Structure 1
């Protein structure tokens, strides 16, 4: 079977981002194939785990993909401080006599942002609203590449390596069947060290803070890589309670137009015409300026503007998110007026050091946590969403009462639709079919 068909059948989507179907992304010819191992968010370590322990698989598969898409350069991007991972990858490259190259980056945020990574490796700016293909590149996360290795062996995506950190007794990287509850992941890591806590899915900058209700029902999907547990009174949790009305009032009363939010914006620094300080000024003056507010459409929502740059503690990112929604309701889209974009001359001096960012976020206590590895969850029940990532949900091909085996197809994407196939992550019996397929694990009877 052709590589792209194997990827499609295995249900592979981007493991480190929004979950774009990989068989569509890799249906191209490019100059650069870039593998993202930079672990964009602070504190996360799942990609590091894969590069240390699955380096042969990643390097060999990267070369297969590179050959398929006729890439001249096959590059794995990772941070220069990842000493063990660099050593493992270099040993694999030498052993396999591979043409894969390593691009070592300083430890700054958001080094793992796709557009930032492409700029770092190629020196080319992806146009605002564009994709790496626009500058002759395609990017895949290291987790995606490992999933493709398994797809070549006819193994579908049925589990994730998840970093569970923060206020848990045993911070760990655990192997989790898709559809396992987040609550069970935390329990597997010894439970929480505090009674009053909140959970962030992903990292502290761009992760999603779960409400109490959503936490009870949240399960691990193909795009989840981390569970961060923090005290309920933590700065990050308290900021999430702020209303848009309060954010606007803050802008009116406290924005000093220092334009640090713009000066340190990663997209501004690679040449995008985005100026958060101008949007904040328009908000402060109660201006109705859709032409200016359109810049919000090209915000990557990294959070540097409000969690690092702003000396007044304002919320440019969430103001941008608000206007994004309003503009989309009106059907307004971003349109480039030029194809020429150049990085800022001071870009290298305005990168945000990861260690300083962690300190600013009051997360230093989690930096030196001892991370356990090798544990695997065996849940009694999984609830597997039929919609994984970008696109349409898969159509169920099983019904209540069916017995299923691990790796069996339970949801198939309809021909002509964009999405991903879904597979059983455990052996068991289907007990519910709706937006999720719920499977009760078969218990092996022990004969005395």
Structure 2
């Protein structure tokens, strides 16, 4: 099998984002191969841990990937402040005599957004509504690259390294089988330290909030990067719980059209025609400007507009998310992919410092909680989603009662489809199949 076939068979998807199937991303040629080791979200430690401990695997995989796409440049982007990670990569590059180079960025948010990273490293503007490949660039998360290395050695994606922190007894990195209940992961680090809490799946800026009552429903997937336990009355969580009607009513009553949300919008600053303040104005009654709502399709959902820029506590990011969903349901896509504007000359001065952002979020107390090292979890039951990626869900190829081995293919997609294969993350018996494949390990399974 060639590299794309191995990646496809192993079920590799983007580990740091929405889960775009990697065999499709690497199909073709590109001038640049960029590996994103920036760790975009505040507090999370997953990418830094991978970079420190898997540096040689990263470089080896990049050489193969770069050769496959005929890349002239192979670059890893990471933050200047991450000195241990820089040292590990430099030693690996020297040891392997690799042509991979490092590009160091300042500690701003969202430095790890792939379109920000493309501009930072290449000075090329990804067109509005476009993808990095439109400007000759392929971007992969560092965790994805390690999964590619494993795939090239015939090892499918079965586990995920997850940062668990916040109001828990022992904030840690946890190595969990895909399908492990989030509740078991929190138990693994000693459980919560408070009674009234909610959980953020992902990072504090772009993560999804779940209630305690949902813990037994949510599981680790191929894209899970963080589990953050926060007091249920934390102001960030209150904003994430509003529905669209509530957000529009607040906009109509308190939005002062100061335009700070637009002035600090990272996508606007690289020349994309996204103006959150105009979207807010349209929702407040300016129906003649209805076409402005399509600009929401350009939003990367970083959250700078609402948790950092807005002086009135508005939620333009959440409104953009709702509008995007409604437009996509109608089959509406952003069609004008020509770059409309030059990069804003004030961009360098409007980057959001990560430390200041954490302070604004009232999360500074959780910084640097996670120490080096990790723990493994072996649940007695996993619930593996058939859809952990962009595109079509995988189709089960096992039946209830089937005995499966760890790493065995249990659901697949056709090679030409946008989707990814799914593998058993533990040995056991298939007990149920619906939108998930449930595997029971039996009495011998323990949580370590």
What's the TM-score bracket when you normalise by the shorter of the two chains? over 0.9
Aligned counterpart, 1:191: 191
User: Aligned partners of 2:15 and 2:423: how far apart in 1?
Assistant: 16
User: Aligned partners of 1:415 and 1:34: how far apart in 2?
Assistant: 25
Shift in alpha-carbon separation, 1:59–1:403, aligned structure 2, 3 A = same
SS of the equivalent of 2:165 reads strand
SS of the equivalent of 2:373 reads strand
- Is the CA contact (8 Å cut-off) linking 1:127 and 1:341 kept in structure 2? no
Determine whether 1:58 maps to 2:72. Answer: no
User: Aligned partners of 2:160 and 2:381: how far apart in 1?
Assistant: 16
- Is the CA contact (8 Å cut-off) linking 2:301 and 2:321 kept in structure 1? yes
Aligned counterpart, 2:35: 35
* Shift in Å, 1:246: 2.7
Aligned counterpart, 1:175: 175
User: Aligned partners of 1:434 and 1:177: how far apart in 2?
Assistant: 19
User: Aligned partners of 2:197 and 2:136: how far apart in 1?
Assistant: 45
User: Aligned partners of 1:186 and 1:55: how far apart in 2?
Assistant: 28
* Shift in Å, 1:286: 4.7
User: Aligned partners of 1:135 and 1:415: how far apart in 2?
Assistant: 26
User: Aligned partners of 2:417 and 2:35: how far apart in 1?
Assistant: 26
User: Aligned partners of 2:436 and 2:389: how far apart in 1?
Assistant: 14
Q: Compare 101-110 and 205-214 and name the one that shifted more.
A: 205-214
User: Aligned partners of 1:318 and 1:384: how far apart in 2?
Assistant: 28
* Shift in Å, 1:414: 2.8
* Shift in Å, 1:31: 0.6
* Shift in Å, 1:289: 2.9
- Is the CA contact (8 Å cut-off) linking 1:264 and 1:304 kept in structure 2? yes
Unmatched segments (≥5 aa) in structure 2: none
User: Aligned partners of 1:368 and 1:386: how far apart in 2?
Assistant: 34
* Shift in Å, 1:139: 0.4
Question: How many equivalent residue pairs?
Answer: 446
Q: Compare 429-438 and 117-126 and name the one that shifted more.
A: 429-438
CA deviations 1:54-86 (Å, max 9, x no partner) are 100001111110011110000001000001000
User: Aligned partners of 1:281 and 1:432: how far apart in 2?
Assistant: 49
Shift in alpha-carbon separation, 1:23–1:370, aligned structure 2, 3 A = closer
User: Aligned partners of 2:5 and 2:263: how far apart in 1?
Assistant: 44
* Shift in Å, 1:48: 0.3
Shift in alpha-carbon separation, 1:372–1:99, aligned structure 2, 3 A = closer
SS of the equivalent of 1:128 reads coil
User: Aligned partners of 2:329 and 2:412: how far apart in 1?
Assistant: 31
Shift in alpha-carbon separation, 1:296–1:445, aligned structure 2, 3 A = closer
* Shift in Å, 1:443: 4.7
User: Aligned partners of 2:131 and 2:66: how far apart in 1?
Assistant: 18
